[in-house]
Structure 1
Amino acid sequence: MVDRAPPNSVSKAGLLRKLPFVLILAAAVLGAFTLREHLSFAALAENRDALLAYRDAHFGLAVLAFMLGYVVIVALSLPGATVATLTGGFLFGVFPGALINVVAATIGAVAVFLAARAGFGQGVASRIEAGGGAAARLQAGLRENEWSVLLLMRLVPAVPFFLANLIPAFVGTSLWRFAVTTFVGIIPGGVVYTSVGAGLGEVFARGETPDLGIIFTAPVLLPILGLAALAALPIALKALRKGT
Protein backbone atom coordinates (compact mmCIF):
# COMPACT_ATOMS: atom_id res chain seq x y z
CA MET A 1 0.00 0.00 0.00
CA VAL A 2 1.42 3.38 -1.04
CA ASP A 3 1.37 6.15 1.56
CA ARG A 4 0.15 9.46 0.27
CA ALA A 5 0.87 12.82 1.83
CA PRO A 6 -2.18 14.61 3.23
CA PRO A 7 -3.52 17.39 0.96
CA ASN A 8 -2.65 20.01 3.58
CA SER A 9 1.01 18.98 3.66
CA VAL A 10 1.16 19.05 -0.15
CA SER A 11 -0.32 22.56 -0.29
CA LYS A 12 2.06 23.76 2.45
CA ALA A 13 5.02 22.37 0.54
CA GLY A 14 3.86 24.20 -2.57
CA LEU A 15 3.52 27.45 -0.65
CA LEU A 16 6.98 27.06 0.83
CA ARG A 17 8.46 26.57 -2.63
CA LYS A 18 6.74 29.75 -3.84
CA LEU A 19 7.70 31.79 -0.78
CA PRO A 20 11.25 32.82 -1.86
CA PHE A 21 10.04 34.15 -5.20
CA VAL A 22 7.10 35.96 -3.60
CA LEU A 23 9.51 37.60 -1.14
CA ILE A 24 11.73 38.67 -4.04
CA LEU A 25 8.77 40.32 -5.77
CA ALA A 26 7.72 42.03 -2.53
CA ALA A 27 11.27 43.28 -1.93
CA ALA A 28 11.50 44.55 -5.52
CA VAL A 29 8.29 46.57 -5.16
CA LEU A 30 9.23 47.91 -1.73
CA GLY A 31 12.78 48.73 -2.80
CA ALA A 32 11.59 50.63 -5.86
CA PHE A 33 9.83 53.12 -3.57
CA THR A 34 12.18 53.25 -0.57
CA LEU A 35 15.75 52.63 -1.73
CA ARG A 36 16.10 54.50 -5.00
CA GLU A 37 17.71 57.55 -3.36
CA HIS A 38 20.02 55.41 -1.20
CA LEU A 39 21.29 53.33 -4.15
CA SER A 40 21.99 56.23 -6.48
CA PHE A 41 24.97 57.94 -8.05
CA ALA A 42 24.45 60.91 -5.71
CA ALA A 43 24.71 58.59 -2.70
CA LEU A 44 27.94 57.13 -4.09
CA ALA A 45 29.39 60.60 -4.60
CA GLU A 46 28.43 61.61 -1.07
CA ASN A 47 30.00 58.54 0.54
CA ARG A 48 33.01 58.05 -1.74
CA ASP A 49 35.65 59.10 0.81
CA ALA A 50 34.31 56.74 3.48
CA LEU A 51 34.15 53.88 0.98
CA LEU A 52 37.72 54.44 -0.19
CA ALA A 53 38.97 54.66 3.39
CA TYR A 54 37.30 51.38 4.31
CA ARG A 55 38.66 49.70 1.18
CA ASP A 56 42.19 50.85 2.00
CA ALA A 57 41.93 49.67 5.62
CA HIS A 58 40.11 46.35 5.01
CA PHE A 59 40.48 45.35 1.37
CA GLY A 60 39.34 41.72 1.73
CA LEU A 61 36.32 42.63 3.84
CA ALA A 62 35.48 45.44 1.41
CA VAL A 63 35.42 42.97 -1.48
CA LEU A 64 33.21 40.53 0.44
CA ALA A 65 30.85 43.25 1.68
CA PHE A 66 30.55 44.78 -1.78
CA MET A 67 29.86 41.41 -3.42
CA LEU A 68 27.23 40.58 -0.80
CA GLY A 69 25.52 43.93 -1.36
CA TYR A 70 25.63 43.47 -5.14
CA VAL A 71 24.20 39.94 -4.89
CA VAL A 72 21.35 41.22 -2.70
CA ILE A 73 20.59 44.05 -5.13
CA VAL A 74 20.37 41.65 -8.08
CA ALA A 75 18.68 38.78 -6.22
CA LEU A 76 15.99 41.05 -4.80
CA SER A 77 15.75 43.11 -8.01
CA LEU A 78 16.40 46.33 -6.12
CA PRO A 79 17.18 49.59 -7.90
CA GLY A 80 20.86 50.46 -8.18
CA ALA A 81 22.47 47.60 -10.12
CA THR A 82 24.13 50.04 -12.53
CA VAL A 83 25.38 52.18 -9.65
CA ALA A 84 26.70 49.04 -7.98
CA THR A 85 28.65 48.20 -11.14
CA LEU A 86 30.11 51.71 -11.22
CA THR A 87 31.00 51.38 -7.55
CA GLY A 88 32.86 48.16 -8.25
CA GLY A 89 35.00 49.97 -10.80
CA PHE A 90 35.46 52.98 -8.53
CA LEU A 91 36.65 50.89 -5.59
CA PHE A 92 38.56 48.09 -7.29
CA GLY A 93 39.52 49.35 -10.75
CA VAL A 94 38.75 47.69 -14.07
CA PHE A 95 40.46 44.58 -12.73
CA PRO A 96 39.54 42.96 -10.42
CA GLY A 97 36.47 45.21 -10.38
CA ALA A 98 34.95 43.74 -13.56
CA LEU A 99 35.45 40.19 -12.30
CA ILE A 100 33.92 41.04 -8.92
CA ASN A 101 30.93 42.71 -10.60
CA VAL A 102 30.32 39.86 -13.05
CA VAL A 103 30.61 37.13 -10.40
CA ALA A 104 28.28 38.95 -7.99
CA ALA A 105 25.71 39.69 -10.72
CA THR A 106 25.77 36.06 -11.84
CA ILE A 107 25.22 34.79 -8.29
CA GLY A 108 22.29 37.16 -7.85
CA ALA A 109 20.78 36.13 -11.18
CA VAL A 110 21.14 32.44 -10.27
CA ALA A 111 19.32 33.12 -6.98
CA VAL A 112 16.37 34.65 -8.86
CA PHE A 113 16.39 31.81 -11.38
CA LEU A 114 16.34 29.13 -8.66
CA ALA A 115 13.59 30.87 -6.70
CA ALA A 116 11.41 31.24 -9.81
CA ARG A 117 12.05 27.67 -10.98
CA ALA A 118 11.36 26.16 -7.55
CA GLY A 119 8.18 28.15 -7.03
CA PHE A 120 6.61 28.25 -10.47
CA GLY A 121 9.03 27.17 -13.19
CA GLN A 122 8.35 23.45 -13.33
CA GLY A 123 4.59 23.93 -13.37
CA VAL A 124 4.70 26.72 -15.95
CA ALA A 125 7.03 24.74 -18.22
CA SER A 126 4.78 21.67 -18.05
CA ARG A 127 1.64 23.70 -18.78
CA ILE A 128 3.28 25.41 -21.77
CA GLU A 129 4.41 22.08 -23.18
CA ALA A 130 1.00 20.46 -22.64
CA GLY A 131 -0.92 23.44 -24.00
CA GLY A 132 0.74 23.47 -27.42
CA GLY A 133 0.41 26.45 -29.71
CA ALA A 134 2.83 29.34 -30.19
CA ALA A 135 4.06 29.28 -26.59
CA ALA A 136 5.00 25.60 -26.86
CA ARG A 137 6.79 26.22 -30.15
CA LEU A 138 8.70 29.10 -28.58
CA GLN A 139 9.64 26.86 -25.65
CA ALA A 140 10.81 24.10 -28.01
CA GLY A 141 12.81 26.59 -30.06
CA LEU A 142 14.52 27.98 -26.98
CA ARG A 143 15.39 24.50 -25.74
CA GLU A 144 16.76 23.57 -29.16
CA ASN A 145 19.00 26.65 -29.22
CA GLU A 146 19.49 27.22 -25.49
CA TRP A 147 23.13 28.31 -25.55
CA SER A 148 22.62 30.80 -28.37
CA VAL A 149 19.34 32.27 -27.12
CA LEU A 150 20.53 32.67 -23.55
CA LEU A 151 23.72 34.38 -24.70
CA LEU A 152 21.74 36.71 -26.96
CA MET A 153 19.46 37.66 -24.06
CA ARG A 154 22.53 38.79 -22.11
CA LEU A 155 24.55 40.37 -24.90
CA VAL A 156 21.66 42.37 -26.36
CA PRO A 157 19.78 43.95 -23.45
CA ALA A 158 16.45 44.09 -25.28
CA VAL A 159 15.04 41.93 -22.46
CA PRO A 160 15.31 43.52 -18.98
CA PHE A 161 17.78 41.73 -16.71
CA PHE A 162 15.07 40.58 -14.28
CA LEU A 163 12.95 39.06 -17.07
CA ALA A 164 16.05 37.44 -18.54
CA ASN A 165 16.34 35.60 -15.20
CA LEU A 166 12.70 34.52 -15.18
CA ILE A 167 12.06 33.39 -18.76
CA PRO A 168 14.66 30.58 -18.67
CA ALA A 169 13.26 29.39 -15.32
CA PHE A 170 9.74 29.23 -16.75
CA VAL A 171 10.69 27.25 -19.87
CA GLY A 172 12.81 24.63 -18.13
CA THR A 173 16.36 25.79 -18.87
CA SER A 174 19.10 23.90 -17.03
CA LEU A 175 20.87 25.70 -14.18
CA TRP A 176 24.31 25.02 -15.68
CA ARG A 177 23.50 26.61 -19.04
CA PHE A 178 21.78 29.55 -17.39
CA ALA A 179 24.74 30.25 -15.08
CA VAL A 180 27.40 29.90 -17.78
CA THR A 181 25.60 32.05 -20.36
CA THR A 182 24.81 34.68 -17.74
CA PHE A 183 28.44 34.91 -16.64
CA VAL A 184 29.82 35.02 -20.19
CA GLY A 185 27.06 37.19 -21.64
CA ILE A 186 27.30 40.03 -19.12
CA ILE A 187 31.09 40.33 -19.34
CA PRO A 188 31.17 42.90 -22.22
CA GLY A 189 28.68 45.29 -20.65
CA GLY A 190 30.14 44.67 -17.20
CA VAL A 191 33.63 45.61 -18.36
CA VAL A 192 32.36 48.79 -20.04
CA TYR A 193 30.47 50.05 -16.98
CA THR A 194 33.25 48.98 -14.63
CA SER A 195 35.72 51.00 -16.70
CA VAL A 196 33.38 54.00 -16.42
CA GLY A 197 33.33 53.48 -12.66
CA ALA A 198 37.13 53.30 -12.56
CA GLY A 199 37.23 56.85 -13.90
CA LEU A 200 34.74 58.30 -11.44
CA GLY A 201 37.45 60.03 -9.42
CA GLU A 202 37.88 62.59 -12.21
CA VAL A 203 34.12 62.82 -12.72
CA PHE A 204 33.61 63.59 -9.02
CA ALA A 205 36.39 66.19 -9.14
CA ARG A 206 34.58 68.00 -11.97
CA GLY A 207 31.22 67.75 -10.20
CA GLU A 208 29.72 65.86 -13.14
CA THR A 209 27.79 62.62 -13.63
CA PRO A 210 29.15 59.66 -15.62
CA ASP A 211 28.21 59.18 -19.26
CA LEU A 212 26.41 55.83 -19.26
CA GLY A 213 25.54 56.25 -22.91
CA ILE A 214 29.07 55.17 -23.76
CA ILE A 215 27.82 51.62 -24.31
CA PHE A 216 25.82 52.89 -27.31
CA THR A 217 28.83 54.46 -29.03
CA ALA A 218 30.21 52.69 -32.10
CA PRO A 219 33.56 51.56 -30.58
CA VAL A 220 31.69 49.76 -27.79
CA LEU A 221 28.42 48.78 -29.42
CA LEU A 222 29.80 47.29 -32.62
CA PRO A 223 31.99 44.66 -30.91
CA ILE A 224 29.07 43.67 -28.67
CA LEU A 225 26.80 43.33 -31.71
CA GLY A 226 29.52 41.26 -33.35
CA LEU A 227 29.51 38.89 -30.39
CA ALA A 228 25.72 38.75 -30.57
CA ALA A 229 25.94 37.83 -34.27
CA LEU A 230 28.34 35.00 -33.41
CA ALA A 231 25.93 33.78 -30.73
CA ALA A 232 23.09 33.83 -33.25
CA LEU A 233 25.08 32.02 -35.94
CA PRO A 234 24.17 28.47 -34.79
CA ILE A 235 20.48 29.41 -34.91
CA ALA A 236 20.85 30.74 -38.46
CA LEU A 237 22.74 27.64 -39.59
CA LYS A 238 20.08 25.34 -38.17
CA ALA A 239 17.38 27.34 -39.93
CA LEU A 240 19.27 27.09 -43.22
CA ARG A 241 19.67 23.33 -42.86
CA LYS A 242 15.96 22.90 -42.21
CA GLY A 243 15.15 25.05 -45.21
CA THR A 244 17.24 22.99 -47.62
Structure 2
Amino acid sequence: MDNLDKTDRAAAPRTGWARHIPLAAILLVAVLGFFTLRDYLSFDTLRDNREALLAFRDAHYLVMAALFVAIYVVIVAFSLPGAAVASVTGGFLFGLGLGTVFNVTAATIGAIAIFWAARLGLGQALTARMEASEGTIAKLRKGLEENEISVLFLLRLVPAVPFFVANLLPALVGVKFRNFALTTVLGIIPGALVFTWIGVGLGEVFDRGESPDLSLLWEPQIIGPLLGLSALAALPIVIKALRGRKGGV
Protein backbone atom coordinates (compact mmCIF):
# COMPACT_ATOMS: atom_id res chain seq x y z
CA MET A 1 0.00 0.00 0.00
CA ASP A 2 2.84 2.42 0.90
CA ASN A 3 4.37 1.90 -2.53
CA LEU A 4 1.03 2.64 -4.13
CA ASP A 5 0.77 5.88 -2.16
CA LYS A 6 4.23 6.98 -3.28
CA THR A 7 3.45 6.29 -6.94
CA ASP A 8 -0.15 7.60 -7.00
CA ARG A 9 0.82 10.42 -9.32
CA ALA A 10 3.97 8.99 -10.86
CA ALA A 11 2.11 5.98 -12.27
CA ALA A 12 -0.40 8.14 -14.08
CA PRO A 13 0.23 9.50 -17.57
CA ARG A 14 0.93 13.20 -17.26
CA THR A 15 -0.39 14.27 -20.65
CA GLY A 16 -2.78 13.13 -23.30
CA TRP A 17 -6.47 12.49 -23.54
CA ALA A 18 -6.08 8.73 -23.05
CA ARG A 19 -5.85 9.10 -19.27
CA HIS A 20 -9.44 10.41 -19.22
CA ILE A 21 -10.88 7.36 -20.97
CA PRO A 22 -11.61 5.27 -17.83
CA LEU A 23 -13.56 8.03 -16.08
CA ALA A 24 -15.32 9.04 -19.29
CA ALA A 25 -16.36 5.41 -19.84
CA ILE A 26 -17.71 5.18 -16.29
CA LEU A 27 -19.73 8.38 -16.71
CA LEU A 28 -21.11 7.25 -20.08
CA VAL A 29 -22.14 3.83 -18.81
CA ALA A 30 -23.62 5.42 -15.67
CA VAL A 31 -25.85 7.70 -17.76
CA LEU A 32 -26.92 4.89 -20.09
CA GLY A 33 -27.53 2.57 -17.16
CA PHE A 34 -29.70 5.13 -15.40
CA PHE A 35 -32.11 5.23 -18.32
CA THR A 36 -32.00 1.57 -19.37
CA LEU A 37 -31.46 -0.55 -16.24
CA ARG A 38 -33.38 1.08 -13.41
CA ASP A 39 -36.51 -0.97 -14.22
CA TYR A 40 -34.53 -4.23 -14.25
CA LEU A 41 -32.27 -3.84 -11.21
CA SER A 42 -35.23 -3.76 -8.85
CA PHE A 43 -36.95 -5.71 -6.10
CA ASP A 44 -39.67 -6.69 -8.58
CA THR A 45 -37.07 -8.43 -10.72
CA LEU A 46 -35.68 -10.18 -7.65
CA ARG A 47 -39.16 -11.30 -6.60
CA ASP A 48 -39.96 -12.66 -10.07
CA ASN A 49 -36.72 -14.66 -10.22
CA ARG A 50 -36.32 -15.67 -6.58
CA GLU A 51 -36.95 -19.39 -7.06
CA ALA A 52 -34.53 -19.64 -9.98
CA LEU A 53 -31.85 -17.74 -8.07
CA LEU A 54 -32.23 -19.87 -4.96
CA ALA A 55 -32.15 -23.08 -7.00
CA PHE A 56 -28.99 -21.98 -8.82
CA ARG A 57 -27.38 -20.97 -5.52
CA ASP A 58 -28.13 -24.38 -4.00
CA ALA A 59 -26.73 -26.20 -7.03
CA HIS A 60 -23.70 -23.95 -7.71
CA TYR A 61 -22.95 -22.00 -4.55
CA LEU A 62 -19.42 -20.84 -5.41
CA VAL A 63 -20.40 -19.86 -8.94
CA MET A 64 -23.37 -17.89 -7.63
CA ALA A 65 -21.15 -16.15 -5.06
CA ALA A 66 -18.61 -15.20 -7.74
CA LEU A 67 -21.32 -13.97 -10.11
CA PHE A 68 -22.97 -11.95 -7.38
CA VAL A 69 -19.73 -10.22 -6.39
CA ALA A 70 -18.83 -9.55 -10.05
CA ILE A 71 -22.25 -8.02 -10.82
CA TYR A 72 -22.15 -5.93 -7.66
CA VAL A 73 -18.66 -4.66 -8.56
CA VAL A 74 -19.94 -3.56 -11.98
CA ILE A 75 -22.95 -1.82 -10.40
CA VAL A 76 -20.71 0.15 -8.03
CA ALA A 77 -17.85 0.79 -10.45
CA PHE A 78 -20.20 2.25 -13.08
CA SER A 79 -22.56 3.90 -10.56
CA LEU A 80 -25.50 1.96 -11.97
CA PRO A 81 -28.91 1.99 -10.28
CA GLY A 82 -29.57 -0.97 -8.01
CA ALA A 83 -26.78 -0.87 -5.40
CA ALA A 84 -29.33 -1.04 -2.57
CA VAL A 85 -31.09 -3.94 -4.30
CA ALA A 86 -27.76 -5.73 -4.69
CA SER A 87 -26.92 -5.27 -1.00
CA VAL A 88 -30.30 -6.64 0.07
CA THR A 89 -29.89 -9.51 -2.39
CA GLY A 90 -26.61 -10.42 -0.69
CA GLY A 91 -28.48 -11.07 2.54
CA PHE A 92 -31.32 -12.85 0.74
CA LEU A 93 -28.99 -15.30 -1.02
CA PHE A 94 -26.13 -15.77 1.44
CA GLY A 95 -27.35 -14.83 4.92
CA LEU A 96 -26.09 -12.13 7.26
CA GLY A 97 -22.48 -13.30 7.68
CA LEU A 98 -21.37 -14.21 4.17
CA GLY A 99 -23.81 -11.73 2.66
CA THR A 100 -22.11 -8.88 4.51
CA VAL A 101 -18.66 -10.14 3.51
CA PHE A 102 -19.66 -10.36 -0.16
CA ASN A 103 -21.36 -6.94 -0.07
CA VAL A 104 -18.39 -5.21 1.54
CA THR A 105 -15.90 -6.94 -0.78
CA ALA A 106 -17.80 -6.04 -3.94
CA ALA A 107 -18.53 -2.47 -2.89
CA THR A 108 -14.89 -1.91 -1.95
CA ILE A 109 -13.58 -3.24 -5.27
CA GLY A 110 -16.06 -1.10 -7.18
CA ALA A 111 -15.16 1.97 -5.14
CA ILE A 112 -11.46 1.42 -5.80
CA ALA A 113 -12.17 1.15 -9.53
CA ILE A 114 -13.87 4.56 -9.52
CA PHE A 115 -11.10 6.04 -7.39
CA TRP A 116 -8.36 5.02 -9.82
CA ALA A 117 -10.36 6.02 -12.89
CA ALA A 118 -10.75 9.50 -11.43
CA ARG A 119 -7.22 9.67 -10.01
CA LEU A 120 -5.58 8.82 -13.31
CA GLY A 121 -7.74 11.35 -15.13
CA LEU A 122 -9.11 14.57 -13.67
CA GLY A 123 -7.72 13.83 -10.23
CA GLN A 124 -4.12 14.20 -11.33
CA ALA A 125 -4.68 17.66 -12.79
CA LEU A 126 -6.84 18.91 -9.92
CA THR A 127 -4.43 17.65 -7.28
CA ALA A 128 -1.50 19.35 -9.02
CA ARG A 129 -3.41 22.64 -9.13
CA MET A 130 -4.35 22.38 -5.46
CA GLU A 131 -0.74 21.74 -4.49
CA ALA A 132 0.41 24.75 -6.53
CA SER A 133 -2.29 27.05 -5.14
CA GLU A 134 -1.98 29.46 -2.26
CA GLY A 135 -4.39 31.15 0.10
CA THR A 136 -7.74 29.53 0.89
CA ILE A 137 -7.23 26.51 -1.35
CA ALA A 138 -3.85 25.83 0.20
CA LYS A 139 -5.39 26.00 3.70
CA LEU A 140 -8.16 23.61 2.68
CA ARG A 141 -5.61 21.23 1.23
CA LYS A 142 -3.54 21.34 4.41
CA GLY A 143 -6.63 20.79 6.55
CA LEU A 144 -7.59 17.77 4.49
CA GLU A 145 -4.12 16.27 4.82
CA GLU A 146 -4.18 16.71 8.59
CA ASN A 147 -7.64 15.13 8.96
CA GLU A 148 -7.71 12.81 5.96
CA ILE A 149 -8.85 9.62 7.68
CA SER A 150 -11.53 11.39 9.72
CA VAL A 151 -12.92 13.15 6.64
CA LEU A 152 -12.97 9.91 4.64
CA PHE A 153 -14.78 8.11 7.45
CA LEU A 154 -17.35 10.92 7.55
CA LEU A 155 -17.97 10.55 3.81
CA ARG A 156 -18.69 6.85 4.37
CA LEU A 157 -20.76 7.14 7.52
CA VAL A 158 -22.98 10.17 6.89
CA PRO A 159 -26.11 8.71 5.23
CA ALA A 160 -26.77 11.88 3.22
CA VAL A 161 -23.53 11.49 1.20
CA PRO A 162 -24.18 9.48 -2.01
CA PHE A 163 -21.88 6.50 -2.39
CA PHE A 164 -20.50 7.60 -5.76
CA VAL A 165 -19.60 11.01 -4.31
CA ALA A 166 -17.66 9.32 -1.50
CA ASN A 167 -15.80 7.35 -4.18
CA LEU A 168 -15.14 10.16 -6.63
CA LEU A 169 -14.37 13.18 -4.45
CA PRO A 170 -11.36 11.71 -2.60
CA ALA A 171 -9.65 10.88 -5.89
CA LEU A 172 -10.16 14.40 -7.17
CA VAL A 173 -8.59 16.05 -4.13
CA GLY A 174 -5.60 13.73 -3.95
CA VAL A 175 -6.08 11.65 -0.80
CA LYS A 176 -3.75 8.72 -0.19
CA PHE A 177 -4.98 5.46 -1.70
CA ARG A 178 -4.07 3.57 1.48
CA ASN A 179 -6.35 5.78 3.56
CA PHE A 180 -9.12 5.62 0.97
CA ALA A 181 -9.06 1.82 0.86
CA LEU A 182 -8.94 1.46 4.66
CA THR A 183 -11.79 3.86 5.36
CA THR A 184 -13.86 2.34 2.57
CA VAL A 185 -13.60 -1.20 3.91
CA LEU A 186 -14.31 -0.18 7.52
CA GLY A 187 -16.69 2.68 6.81
CA ILE A 188 -19.19 0.73 4.72
CA ILE A 189 -19.54 -2.16 7.17
CA PRO A 190 -22.31 -0.56 9.30
CA GLY A 191 -24.48 0.24 6.29
CA ALA A 192 -23.74 -3.14 4.71
CA LEU A 193 -24.90 -4.90 7.87
CA VAL A 194 -28.21 -3.02 7.80
CA PHE A 195 -28.94 -3.74 4.12
CA THR A 196 -27.86 -7.37 4.45
CA TRP A 197 -30.04 -7.83 7.52
CA ILE A 198 -33.04 -6.55 5.53
CA GLY A 199 -32.24 -9.12 2.86
CA VAL A 200 -32.20 -11.98 5.37
CA GLY A 201 -35.94 -11.50 5.94
CA LEU A 202 -36.75 -10.74 2.32
CA GLY A 203 -38.32 -14.13 1.63
CA GLU A 204 -41.00 -13.52 4.24
CA VAL A 205 -41.67 -10.07 2.78
CA PHE A 206 -42.18 -11.57 -0.68
CA ASP A 207 -44.44 -14.28 0.74
CA ARG A 208 -46.72 -11.55 2.08
CA GLY A 209 -46.84 -9.97 -1.38
CA GLU A 210 -44.94 -6.90 -0.21
CA SER A 211 -41.73 -5.11 -1.15
CA PRO A 212 -38.86 -4.27 1.23
CA ASP A 213 -39.41 -1.05 3.15
CA LEU A 214 -36.09 0.76 2.99
CA SER A 215 -37.59 3.72 4.84
CA LEU A 216 -36.74 1.88 8.05
CA LEU A 217 -33.14 2.98 7.40
CA TRP A 218 -34.22 6.37 8.75
CA GLU A 219 -35.73 4.93 11.91
CA PRO A 220 -34.05 6.18 15.13
CA GLN A 221 -32.69 2.74 16.05
CA ILE A 222 -30.90 2.58 12.68
CA ILE A 223 -29.93 6.15 11.90
CA GLY A 224 -28.95 6.87 15.51
CA PRO A 225 -25.93 4.54 15.65
CA LEU A 226 -24.79 5.71 12.20
CA LEU A 227 -24.92 9.33 13.29
CA GLY A 228 -23.09 8.36 16.47
CA LEU A 229 -20.30 6.81 14.42
CA SER A 230 -20.23 9.94 12.26
CA ALA A 231 -19.82 12.11 15.34
CA LEU A 232 -17.02 9.84 16.54
CA ALA A 233 -15.25 10.18 13.20
CA ALA A 234 -15.59 13.96 13.37
CA LEU A 235 -14.24 14.17 16.93
CA PRO A 236 -10.53 14.35 15.97
CA ILE A 237 -11.28 17.24 13.60
CA VAL A 238 -13.15 19.13 16.33
CA ILE A 239 -10.36 18.54 18.88
CA LYS A 240 -7.69 19.76 16.46
CA ALA A 241 -9.76 22.83 15.64
CA LEU A 242 -10.22 23.67 19.32
CA ARG A 243 -6.53 23.20 20.04
CA GLY A 244 -5.67 25.42 17.08
CA ARG A 245 -7.90 28.19 18.42
CA LYS A 246 -6.37 27.97 21.87
CA GLY A 247 -2.88 28.03 20.38
CA GLY A 248 -3.74 31.10 18.35
CA VAL A 249 -5.08 33.04 21.30
- TM exceeding 0.5: yes
- 1:42-61 superposed matches below 5 A: 42-61=44-63
Partner deviation per Cα, 1:167-225 (whole Å, 9 max, x = no partner): 11011111111011011111111100110011100000011111112221111111111
Question: Which residue of 229, 232, 244 corresponds with 2:231?
Answer: 229
Q: State percent identity of aligned pairs.
A: 58
Q: For 2:214 and 2:233, how far apart are their aligned partners in 1?
A: 25
Identify the residue that residue 182 of structure 1 maps to in structure 2.
184
Name the aligned partner's letter for residue 27 of structure 2: L
Report the secondary structure of 2:161's partner residue. Answer: coil
Cα RMSD for the two superposed structures: 1.5
Name the aligned partner's letter for residue 124 of structure 1: L
Name the aligned partner's letter for residue 233 of structure 1: L
Q: For 1:214 and 1:106, how far apart are their aligned partners in 2?
A: 24
Q: Which shifted more, 122-131 or 16-25?
A: 122-131
Identify the residue that residue 169 of structure 1 maps to in structure 2.
171
Identify the residue that residue 17 of structure 2 maps to in structure 1.
15
Aligned residues of 1:146 and 1:173 also touching (Cα < 8 A)? yes
Identify the residue that residue 217 of structure 2 maps to in structure 1.
215
Question: Which residue of 23, 26, 35 corresponds with 1:24?
Answer: 26
Identify the residue that residue 10 of structure 2 maps to in structure 1.
none
Q: For 2:65 and 2:173, how far apart are their aligned partners in 1?
A: 35
Q: Which runs of 5+ in 2 are unaligned?
A: 1-12
Partner deviation per Cα, 1:2-49 (whole Å, 9 max, x = no partner): xxxxxxxxx996222111111000000000011111111111111111
Identify the residue that residue 103 of structure 1 maps to in structure 2.
105
Name the aligned partner's letter for residue 207 of structure 2: A
Name the CA shift for 1:213/1:15 in 2 (closer, same or farther; >3 Å): same
Report the secondary structure of 2:81's partner residue. Answer: coil
Name the CA shift for 1:136/1:158 in 2 (closer, same or farther; >3 Å): farther
Question: Which residue of 121, 146, 151 corresponds with 1:119?
Answer: 121
Q: For 1:186 and 1:136, how far apart are their aligned partners in 2?
A: 30
Q: Which shifted more, 223-232 or 133-142?
A: 133-142
Name the aligned partner's letter for residue 66 of structure 1: F
Aligned residues of 1:189 and 1:215 also touching (Cα < 8 A)? no
Name the aligned partner's letter for residue 55 of structure 1: R
Identify the residue that residue 5 of structure 2 maps to in structure 1.
none
Q: Which runs of 5+ in 1 are unaligned?
A: 1-10
Aligned residues of 1:75 and 1:108 also touching (Cα < 8 A)? yes
| Mapped pair 1:71 → 2:56 | no
Identify the residue that residue 8 of structure 1 maps to in structure 2.
none
Structure 1 length-normalised TM: 0.92
